[in-house]
Structure 1
Amino acid sequence: MATQKKIWVFIPLLITLLFGCGPKDNNGESNRVVVYTSWDQPHSRPILQKFEEQTGIKVDAVYDAEASKTAGLVNRLIAEKNNPRADVFWNSEIVRTLVLKEKEVLAPYKPPAWEETPSSFRDPEGYWTGFAGRARVLIYNTDLITNPPTELKALTESEWKGRATIANPLFGTTSTEVATWFSLWGSEKAEGFLMALKNNDVIISTGNATAKDAVASGEVPIGLTDTDDAWGAMQNNKPVDMVFLDQAGEGALLIPNTVCLIKGAPNETNAKKLIDFLTSREVSEMLANSRAGQIPLKKDIPAPSHVEAWASKKFKQVDFEAAYKELDPAMQFVRDEFLEAR
């Protein structure tokens, strides 16, 4: 009987030793990679599945909620800094990637595609690499208006009082856009613009998708969102269209996806393979031809005609490092003044 008890105690221990660390490849390395991503699951999952098919590496993906886009995952990565669980961070924007760099959550890695990526969309030390972008656009309901605004400042005019919506500026690409206002215009002008929006009763939606939905349903005639949200509504035959604002001035804002290696990544070898894949021309082509219509950052990426048309627009010349430095004061103003007593 004592011998049988010893055997039953040993069996669970043996199972743990054999399988507890997950599947291994022939080199004894883990056959998985963990990616945190703020990019919408319907768009990112096919990309990650393609990587799994090509490499045999299992991808465990952790997604963020729409309302807290990027910010939630960034806070989680900071909290896990001394015991990282993620290997890769695929961020649907850029400014909060720079937060992670400053917090020393990231490790430098330059994938093969780093060299051909435009310098404004890559970190000179290799802490992050951009690989496709979305533009910030005005979405409008074609059943309600025929002559939409062409300049951002129009949202502060009386014609649109209580008739425009934006996503909560504390999160996602809207927070990135607000940070660029502070870096490009200076704090006085940026704060004045935000207060003008507030005084014009701009409607705060929980996210870009809900801003898009509000316009598509006719709840409001215009709003700010990203090209992927606007294009998705157009493909679903909603009565909407989009405008790339300020084409006679500083242009629209183009925000890249960024991907980076987590410092101390448990599966570093596989993490680098995933980063190589995400920054490849193949993935840029897949994203351009997807329902999201991502705008390639590299030259000569095959793309449908509507994406080629978007890529030809005028875009703001942004120093994202400068925008990052303005993020904290910009968000403090948003919390204390713009969102106060709404």
Structure 2
Amino acid sequence: MVVVSQTNCLRMEDAGMTRDREKMDHSWRNDEFARREVIGHWWWLIIPVIAIVAGTLLPAVAWLTGTFTPASEVIIYTSQDQVYAEPILKQFERQTGIRVRAVYDSEVVKTVGLVNRLLAENDHPQCDIFWNNEELRTRQLAAKGVFEKWTAIGYRSRRIAVNTNRLSLAAAPHSIVELTNQSWRGKVALAYPLFGTTATHFLALRQVWGDKCWQNWCRALAANKPFLVDGNSVAAKLVAKGEAWVGLTDSDDIAAEQREGASIVELPLTEESLLVPNTIALVRGGGHSAGAERLFEYLKQPEVVEKLVTARALEGVCTRDVTRATLKPEWEGLLVGLDQGTAELKGVFLR
């Protein structure tokens, strides 16, 4: 009698199952009908998988290797601070494979320099998107037909800022009109009001106060020996250092100094404050229309605006969310009086 152990039985069973599987695999490989049946059942997945892989890998490869074609790039002029704009533009490149060539403005002349460039290039546009950090000059360019379309996103605000080591909040000036008082002589900092948001703010005040009253205030302010500096960030720094006690500047520049631990705070919004949206505009006749349209839509996305708010480049998502009374410019009238108002500012403040 032959005795077969349980272990040997299991080994014999495993060997048998292996031979059966090999036969099945061999028969399937030789069965043309079976192969076609399987492929026919799953063919609908092939094209989506290829599309997903291509959409994921090709932009990344183009971005990493720098192998962009003219059709896969876009040129943007922007007055948004580079420290805030650049990470967002880089993210767009990574997501789309479209290279972004950015031209940033100068802190000294801010938006006006890019506006003049766009006007000079109007017959032969050199850029596709204009990302502006204020509204007046965008409206000026739109009125001259430079853009196909534009939109506003988020907002900052023009504020009075004070150094709390120099001044208690109770003693601070709570109206722009007070900045001409003798007590603030030589203690106020602001950017030259010929460019950027400072110019827009002053021109909006002119519209509300009337030209005569406004000119008198401008002359009194200039006579009060303020620090007239090259840009709002410089004005905010002077207040942060305590060299100036009070500043008239932008909310994002105040936030930048607060991140550095400076003793600077902004005073609440008033009827003399100005909300300042960013704007995104598609340049008419730009050479990279497909990429430009994608970037235009990308910069409008709520998640992009939220990133700017989180970074404190913007103060909020929508001006309609602001409940306090602020300046509400009548933009068409402001544009009509732009040249005259600018000339009057030059007459008072030009060094």
Normalised by the length of structure 2, the TM-score is 0.76
1:320 pairs with one of 331, 338, 344: 331
The structural deviation recorded for 1:217 is 1.2
Deviations 1:130-166 (A, max 9, x none): 0011100111111111131111111011111121111
Secondary structure at the counterpart of residue 316 of structure 1: coil
Q: For the residues of structure 2 that align with 1:91 and 1:83, how far apart are their CA atoms?
A: 20
Alignment of 1:1-342 (within 5 A): 23-24=68-69, 30-108=71-149, 128-146=150-168, 147-246=171-270, 250-297=271-318, 311=322, 313-336=324-347, 338-339=348-349
Stretches of structure 1 that go unaligned for 5 or more consecutive residues are 1-21, 109-127, 301-310
Secondary structure at the counterpart of residue 261 of structure 2: coil
- Closer, same or farther: CA 299–324 of 1 in aligned 2, 3 Å: closer
Q: For the residues of structure 2 that align with 1:87 and 1:271, how far apart are their CA atoms?
A: 6
Give the letter for the 1:294 counterpart.
Answer: E
Stretches of structure 2 that go unaligned for 5 or more consecutive residues are 1-66
Secondary structure at the counterpart of residue 30 of structure 1: helix
Normalised by the length of structure 1, the TM-score is 0.78
Contact 2:110 2:196 in 1 (8 A): yes
Q: For the residues of structure 2 that align with 1:64 and 1:234, how far apart are their CA atoms?
A: 24
Contact 2:188 2:244 in 1 (8 A): yes
Structure in which a larger fraction of residues adopt helix: 2
The structural deviation recorded for 1:195 is 1.1
Contact 1:216 1:238 in 2 (8 A): yes
Greater Rg over alpha carbons, structure:
2
Deviations 1:285-339 (A, max 9, x none): 1111114243211779xxxxxxxxxx45432222233322232111100112x12
Give the letter for the 1:279 counterpart.
Answer: K
Q: CA RMSD in A?
A: 1.8
Q: For the residues of structure 2 that align with 1:298 and 1:159, how far apart are their CA atoms?
A: 34
Give the letter for the 1:339 counterpart.
Answer: F
Give the letter for the 1:57 counterpart.
Answer: I
Q: For the residues of structure 2 that align with 1:96 and 1:195, how far apart are their CA atoms?
A: 25
- Closer, same or farther: CA 150–72 of 1 in aligned 2, 3 Å: same
Q: For the residues of structure 2 that align with 1:141 and 1:298, how far apart are their CA atoms?
A: 27
Give the letter for the 2:256 counterpart.
Answer: G
